[in-house]
Chains A and B, each alone.
Chain A
Amino acid sequence: MNKLWVLFKRELSGYFATPVAYVFIVIFLMLSGAFTFFVGRLYEQGQADLSAFFVFHPWLYLFLVPAIAMRLWAEERKTGTVELLLTLPVTTAQAVLGKFLAAWAFTGIALALTFPVWLTVNYLGSPDNGAILAAYIGSFLMSGAFLAVGACISGITKSQVLAFIVSVVLCLLLVLSGFPLVTGFLSGWAPGWLIELVGSLSFYSHFQAISRGVLDLRDLLYFLSVIVFWLLANVIVIDMKKAA
């Protein structure tokens, strides 16, 4: 537990040692603002809620989260520090979890810095702040799911570019798996239960209710299990690289 904390601290402080963190946060805030006000038309909707803000999060995360996740392992492989990390007295699971939690905390910080949007709707009207909190929690969980996918992919390769591209494509499939684009591809030949299963894996459909402020336990469990699954895969990937 203690070692996990040490790894977590190092990873998180690593973000702020370089301009990467600040650039990321600024871009995240600018894009989420632009989507909310210009595409989502928060003002014109005349409703005191933040669905216009949250509804774009899957698309925002789709590109920004893999950008955070791509360096987690690929960079260490490239610079050789992975050899240092994995010969320290820590378990693979601690290393995987420490990296993931630090990246997740960083995403959380970026997400928390969107609070002016929340202040705005509170100034303009009287929104259901419980629903907004629920949506924030849901969005944070979804970012963790994106991150876990990206972290696992980053463990496979030395190339950050490759990690980024593969993660984006994989995440896109996960976001879209409920959409006709993916289900239509299956509908000709796959059995109905498979189509339903693939459809139920969609980040998008699980997030839709959340973005409106409805925090369903099933949606939370869904995102948590996606995180656990990909982190386990990450541990396996790292251990397999040892044996390769």
Chain B
Amino acid sequence: MIEIKDLTKAFGPFVAVDRITFSVAPGEVLGFLGPNGAGKSTTMKMITGFLAPTAGTVRVFGHDVVREPLKAKQLIGYLPEGAPGYGDMTPWQFLGFIAEVRGLRGAERKQRVARVIDDVHLHEVLHQPIDTLSKGYKRRVGLAQAILHEPRVLILDEPTDGLDPNQKQEVRELIQRMRRDRIIIVSTHILEEVSAVCSRAVIIARGKVVADATPAELETRSIYHGAVTLQLDACDEAAEALRALPTVAEVRLDQAAGQVTAFPRDGADLLAEAERLSSARGWALKQIYKERGRLDDVFRRITTEEAA
């Protein structure tokens, strides 16, 4: 359990993190979202004990990060932003060093190091200096050191930033594999990632929590939630017909794409109605679908409006 209470960080007069409060339970993968400069990294640095809070507390399985730093740090695996590593060491030496500092010894140490090398596929570059590795490999080395001691808490600051789509997928799979019985906090501004891996999303803007919900709940807050889009040649006719329905709040017409999108009023189910209308009028539908909602739309609205 991680309990964050009234966590605040001020750099001089600038308040980077402003009384943030939330808890995370084992098994949860928490997506930590927010625009650049919202205070995501600063919050993570306080959870991991790199920065001391100006006010408030962070407790990791009961251990206060400020008062019992070593006990808390032992439970945490942390991938800092940009995945820094000692450039003159090889991944092999580096992981050996981390394992030793983490107190792993003998056979256990060998086995764990071999395991993470398998997990993140480091075999090819094991004996090359970290400085010479590609961005993707550097990130993997950073992930490897974070999960080496099988921590109960895993904190990953933008783990997929700058990776190619295949590498992103690998990291997501790794997170999925690790999630059992663990607390995982992932910061990102890639919203598809949140739907893909997170069981919960906390959005912060200007240092404050502005949303805390499951990705599905967040999607329902989108104006696109329940919206029905039709693709057909007779767009104009369809737009007019849909606009006439009492359950439709608004219709958007995209001539270029040949698409009509109807937004429901009061959460009405438009799909059936649109289909009925279409067969009655004999439209040749190329496509019709109902949207779950768009996280990027919610994200934009929440982070620009509610914090203002």
A: residues with CB less than 8 A from B are 2-3, 6-7, 10, 13-14, 17-18, 79-81, 83-84, 86-91, 239, 242-244
Q: With CB as the reference atom, state the residue of chain B lying closest to A86.
A: B50
Collect the chain B residues with CB atoms within 8 Å of residue A89's CB.
70, 73-74, 101-103
| Interface size class of chain B, counting residues whose CB lies under 8 Å from the partner chain | 20 to 34
Given contacts A6-B100, A87-B49, A88-B101, 18 further A-B contacts (CB under 8 A): A6-B101, A17-B88, A83-B50, A83-B80, A84-B80, A84-B84, A86-B50, A87-B48, A87-B78, A87-B80, A88-B102, A89-B74, A89-B102, A89-B103, A90-B70, A242-B50, A242-B52, A244-B11
B67 nearest CB across to chain A (Å): 13
Collect the chain B residues with CB atoms within 8 Å of residue A243's CB.
51-52
B144 nearest CB across to chain A (Å): 12
A91 to B70, CA, bound (A): 7
| B26 CB–A CB distance under 8 Å | no
Q: Which of A2, A80, A244 contacts B80 (CB 8 A)?
A: A80
- Report whether B101 and A81 are in contact in the complex, using a CB–CB cutoff of 8 Å: no
- Report whether B102 and A242 are in contact in the complex, using a CB–CB cutoff of 8 Å: no
A8 nearest CB across to chain B (Å): 11
| B56 CB–A CB distance under 8 Å | no
Collect the chain A residues with CB atoms within 8 Å of residue B27's CB.
none
- Report whether A88 and B98 are in contact in the complex, using a CB–CB cutoff of 8 Å: yes
A86 to B51, CA, bound (A): 9
| B145 CB–A CB distance under 8 Å | yes
Q: Which of A6, A87, A242 contacts B97 (CB 8 A)?
A: A6
- Report whether B84 and A79 are in contact in the complex, using a CB–CB cutoff of 8 Å: yes
Q: With CB as the reference atom, state the residue of chain B lying closest to A6.
A: B100
Q: With CB as the reference atom, state the residue of chain A lying closest to B99.
A: A6
Q: With CB as the reference atom, state the residue of chain A lying closest to B145.
A: A84
A79 to B142, CA, bound (A): 13
Collect the chain B residues with CB atoms within 8 Å of residue A3's CB.
101, 103
Collect the chain B residues with CB atoms within 8 Å of residue A83's CB.
45, 50, 80, 84
A9 nearest CB across to chain B (Å): 8
Q: Which of A14, A18, A88 contacts B73 (CB 8 A)?
A: A88
| B35 CB–A CB distance under 8 Å | no
- Report whether A84 and B85 are in contact in the complex, using a CB–CB cutoff of 8 Å: yes
A4 nearest CB across to chain B (Å): 10
| B87 CB–A CB distance under 8 Å | yes
Collect the chain A residues with CB atoms within 8 Å of residue B93's CB.
13
CB 8 Å contact bits of B78-90 with A (1 = contact, 0 = none): 1011101111110
A86 to B80, CA, bound (A): 11
Collect the chain A residues with CB atoms within 8 Å of residue B145's CB.
84
A70 to B76, CA, bound (A): 30
Within 8 A of A (CB), among B152-196: none
Give the 7 A-B CB pairs with smallest separation, nearest first.
Answer: A80-B84, A17-B88, A83-B80, A89-B73, A243-B52, A87-B48, A6-B100
- Report whether A14 and B86 are in contact in the complex, using a CB–CB cutoff of 8 Å: yes
B254 nearest CB across to chain A (Å): 45
